[in-house]
Amino acid sequence: MTASPTDDLASAERRNQELTKELAQASGELAEAREQRATTAEILRMISSSPLDLQRVFAGIAASAANLCDAHDATIFQADDDIIRVVAHYGPISSTAHGRPLKRGIVTAHAILDRRTIQVPHLQAETDVFPESSELARRDGHRSLLAVPLIHASQAIGAITIRSIEVRPFSDKQIALLETFANQAVIAIENTWLFEAEQASKRELQAEIQVRGRVPEPDPHGRPKIRNRRRSFAPQASQAHLRARTAGLSGRRGHGPIAARVPIRFSGRLGCSA
């Protein structure tokens, strides 16, 4: 039995609607990708042009993370010995985790200690796994939270988090995007360290010239020798030394690509794998 002209027309209309929907979705994804690339380029431009203005860079990263990840806020933390400190925040939700202990009952601290991405879709319900964070969530009014550590030289030196007031897990794309922002934050930190190290080297060289009255003898690689020269950027440095290197902002750390990690997801009564 052949289809009637009416059936053919209805089928064509349905196909046309499907194609229109697919085109709109593709256009939206393309626009989103362009916005992400533009934001990434702008942050890298800020890092390059303002090596000593980490606060401005962190503020830009936090704002971009919240907006592009469809979150209600974003926060960048510094791991300072056994506590976590807020160094940048964007959004209307209160940031009350500042000064909290570096312990596993706090999601951000757990991500730093385990050096892994952690997502909690309904933090207010996680009273056993994250008792401190669950209490803060009920107090501040947020529910979903995603935390990504800032990794430098295999050490977690801080974290970036995004939160939502809804019970809404962040998508894999949003997780990957936040990890990109975490990586950019680390790039900014290392760029600052390297800039400060270069300036310190120039000062030492100038002092050596003034004392000796001549340019120090170069080493085999063509660089001037500086007596008792100390590295101003050391991956194995202590936390106290890192704080001293980054005085003036309550959180600055190093750089290195963030390795692929499988996010830890908590839902319902699921326990912690760490």
Range with the poorest average pLDDT among 51-60, 80-89, 175-184:
51-60
pLDDT the model gives residue 198: 85
Average pLDDT of the chain is: 78
Give residue 196's pLDDT band: very low, low, confident or very high (50, 70, 90). confident
- The pTM for the full model equals 0.67
pLDDT for the residue 259: 35
- In the prediction, which pLDDT does 173 show? 94
31-190+255-265 classified as CATH 3.30.450.40: yes
Model pLDDT for residues 214-234, shown as the tens digit of each residue: 555 555 555 545 444 433 323
Q: How confident is the model at residue 158 (pLDDT cuts 50, 70, 90)?
A: very high
- 107 against 196, higher pLDDT: 107
Higher per-residue pLDDT: 236 or 162: 162
pLDDT tens per residue, range 108-133: 999 999 999 999 999 999 999 999 99
Q: How confident is the model at residue 39 (pLDDT cuts 50, 70, 90)?
A: confident
pLDDT at 29: 64
As a whole number of angstroms, the distance between CA 171 and CA 6 comes to 42
Q: Specify burial of residue 271 (Cβ count, 10 A radius: 0-12, 13-18, 19+).
A: exposed
User: Distance (Å, rounded) from C-alpha 196 to C-alpha 204?
Assistant: 12
pLDDT at 28: 63
Q: Which residues have CB under 8 Å from 142's CB, separation 6+?
A: 72, 73, 93, 123, 163, 164, 165
Q: How far is CA 256 from the centre of its chain?
A: 12
Top-ranked range on mean pLDDT: pick from 34-43, 176-185, 208-217, 237-246: 176-185
pLDDT at residue 165, rounded to an integer = 97
Residue 236: its pLDDT value, please?
37
Tell me how far CA of residue 225 lies from CA of 198, 202, 212, 222, 269, in angstroms: 14, 12, 12, 9, 60
**Whole-Å CA distances, 145 to 71, 120, 128:** 9, 5, 16
